[in-house]
Structure 1
Amino acid sequence: MDNVIRRRTLGARLARLALYAALLLAALFYLLPLAVMLITSVKPLDEISAGSLLALPQSPTLVPWAKAWGEACTGMRCEGVGGYFWNSFAIVIPAVAISTVVGALNGYALTKWRFRGSELLFGLMLFGCFIPFQVVLLPMAQTLGWLGLSSSRAGLVLVHVIFGIAFTTLFFRNFYVAVPTELVSAAKLDGAGFFRIFWRILLPVSAPIIVVSVIWQFTQIWNDFLFGVAFSAHDTQPVTVALNNLVNTSTGVREYNVDMAAAMIAALPTLVVYVLAGKYFVRGLTAGSVKG
């Protein structure tokens, strides 16, 4: 009996080790491009020309990072990607906040204050999740022109809010379905109104799905290139557009270390968000999956 138990224990340990080994190999495979970018970004240009991609830098330097931030040419100007980096934050922060708040109110209304045609309205909003961005470029450009928001940060914020509301509404609607309707009904009997119920009952339990909405919207808006290049001017372009312009600007010798440093600068915010809050993203998605 003891031998059987030992064999089973040994088999379980070996299976766990095999699983960990497979996960480690998968992690190394997916992290390899990031490692190459980071290593290249701190190498002098002569080492890049003489060595291999995976060779560690012999004389590490942050000069490529400094040049990518403040001196690299992104088209006709050689001001680096620093200004565009802050442009992205100026676009992302209000767009994420507005789309999250509106999505929460929509999800609340569609689950706890249902009205005639609410299911049809929700279905139409879901349809918005599947519309290709390219289809609406011309209508959106015309709309921004009518509103006087062409080539402005406010125009980009509006575009991202409009396209984000469908997703945030879906997130909050599915989460609030699992919240007992009896709580809302009791609050209505006590005289609480629409916003009071939302503020006192729904919002305090919404932390998991708020994290999901913020992470989703932040990464989608920060990584956007199409809207950034279509609806912005030079002074309002996000960092993704500046990165594309930098890589496609030729002024002699190709400085791969500067290109990689700029790519790392553009990717850092999303990397930080996923490293610090990735586990909460998964928890938030599954928080409303089981009712009761």
Structure 2
Amino acid sequence: MSTSSLSLPASPEAPSPAPGSRSERSGRGWLHLLRLIVILLGVVVVLIPVYVLVITSLKGPGDASAARAWALPQEWTFSNWSAAWTALGPSIGRSVQMVVPSTIVSAVLGCMNGFVLSRWRFPGADLVFTLILFGMFLPYQAVMIPLMQMLLGAGVPNGIPSLILLHVVFGIPITTLIFRNYFESVPHELVESAKVDGAGMLRTFWHIALPLAIPGFVVVLIWQFTNAWNDFLFAVFFSSPANGPVTLALNNLANGALLANYGVSMAGALLASLPTLLVYILLSKYFLSGLMQGSVKG
């Protein structure tokens, strides 16, 4: 008998785990545990600076030092918070006066621009959109002197009025981009049906586009609120400690408190960051959903 006619028995294959079996559940459990460990490590890394800020803000002058940055306070005190509030309270009020109108106005203008450039197109719309986007790439440091000369020539008062105007103007490019991408995801038939019914651009915007743009507004409001609240460069050039926002006052507080007490500057930093933190906590769910709705075309 020839060897070619002989067939060797096939080697048995290892059986794959059945769906829902104990081995598959065990593998999924280990994967879930690994993801949880990675997430917890990331949370710990992010919260380390917050831990140092909080415990340092609760230490007395002799206890708040670089050598004891990680140690718990020897004596817990809230005097740093009251001192920081006394120093930053007026500037926090001025920041609110600056951020609220600049955020709302830039969001409304960006919404109108995004709607027109996406759903009510006109000759040269792409060129206009490109020119608007150029504002996102202008380095602020390069235009400070021309901006200052222009605002002085226009008679715009220094301080909060100048900062409101600047944040509105420099916020229009990013708000226009966000709303244009968002309106691209809105079904085109809605706008066309409004045109067929005889609605003009403003009526279509007010009755159809604006109610649909609520998730986009949440994204833009959070974005603009954070940028305007945390701005320091414009505050240095166009305001003073007497009429400027909280970032300028916090810088002066930190420079004056570093040699005397770290706790006051740490408490001031926490007070200055609380508004943006609260905004993200309250609106984070809507922020993520708005980003997702504006990233996929309908």
Q: Structure 2: which 5+ runs fail to align?
A: 1-16
Match of 1:75 in 2: none
Gaps of 5+ in 1: 71-79
Could you say which residue in structure 2 is the equivalent of 1:87?
A: 94
The answer to whether the 8 A contact 2:118-2:180 is kept is: yes
Alpha-carbon distance in 1 for matches of 2:37, 2:118: 45
User: 1:190-231, CA deviations, whole angstroms, 9 ceiling, x for partnerless residues?
Assistant: 121222111111111111111100010011110000001101
CA contact (8 A) 2:119 2:191 kept: yes
Retained in 1: the 8 A contact 2:61–2:260? no
How many correspondences in the alignment? 282
- Per the alignment, residue 151 of structure 2 pairs with 144
Question: Retained in 1: the 8 A contact 2:64–2:261?
Answer: no
* Equivalent residues of 2:241, 2:248 under 8 A apart: no
**Residues 144-223 of structure 1 mapped to structure 2, 5 A cutoff:** 144-223=151-230
- How does 1:222-261 map onto structure 2 within 5 Å? 222-249=229-256, 253-261=259-267
**Counterpart amino acid of 1:144?**
L
- Structure 2 counterpart of 1:28: 44
Q: Give the Cα–Cα distance (whole angstroms) in 2 for the partners of residues 182 and 37 of structure 1.
A: 53
Give the distance between the partners of 2:79 and 2:262, measured in 1 at CA: 13
Matched, 1:271 2:277: yes
CA distance in 1, matches of 2:53, 2:85: 16
Distance 1:246 1:116, change over 3 A: same
Which stretch shifts more, 105-114 or 180-189? 180-189
**1:289 Cα shift?**
1.9
Match of 1:280 among 283, 286, 291: 286
Does the CA-based 8 Å contact 1:99-1:165 persist in structure 2?
A: yes
Instruction: Look up the match of 1:65.
Output: 81
Q: Percent identity?
A: 46
Larger Rg: 2
Mark the CA change 1:99 to 1:50 in structure 2 (over 3 Å): closer, same or farther: closer
Instruction: Name the residue aligned to 1:104.
Output: 111
- Displaced runs of 4 or more, over 3 A: 1-4
2:29 is matched with 13
Give distance in 1, aligned partners of 2:221 and 2:267.
26
Tell me if structure 2 keeps the 8 A contact 1:141–1:150. no
Compute the TM-score of the two structures, normalised by the length of structure 1. Answer: 0.92
Alpha carbons 1:68, 1:258 under 8 Å: kept = yes
Answer whether contact 1:208 1:281 (CA < 8 A) is retained.
yes
Superposition RMSD in Å: 1.8
CA distance in 2 between counterparts of 1:247 and 1:150 reads 27
Matches within 5 A, 1:45-60: 45-49=61-65, 52-60=68-76
1:22 Cα offset (Å)? 0.6
1:150–1:231: 8 Å Cα contact kept in structure 2?
no
CA 152–111 in structure 1, closer or farther in 2 if over 3 Å, else same: same
Aligned with 1:235: secondary structure?
Answer: coil
Q: Tell me how far apart the structure 2 counterparts of residues 51 and 9 of structure 1 sit (CA, whole Å).
A: 48
Asked whether the equivalents of residues 65 and 262 of structure 2 are also in contact (C-alpha less than 8 Å), the reply is no
Deviation at 1:49, TM superposition (A): 4.3
CA contact (8 A) 2:103 2:224 kept: yes
Describe the shift of the 1:290–1:253 C-alpha distance in structure 2 as closer, same or farther (beyond 3 A).
closer
Q: Do the aligned residues in 1 keep the contact of 2:113 with 2:176 (CA within 8 Å)? A: yes
Taking the aligned partners of 2:207 and 2:250, their CA distance within structure 1 comes to 44
Give the conservation status (yes or no) of the 8 Å contact 2:253–2:265. yes
| Alpha-carbon distance between aligned partners in 1 of 2:78 and 2:269, rounded to the nearest angstrom | 14
Contact 2:88 2:250 in 1 (8 A): yes
| Amino acid aligned to 1:5 | S
TM-score by length of 2: 0.90
Distance 1:160 1:101 in 2: 13
CA offsets, 1:114-139, max 9 Å, x none? 11111001011111111111111011
Residue equivalent to 2:6: none
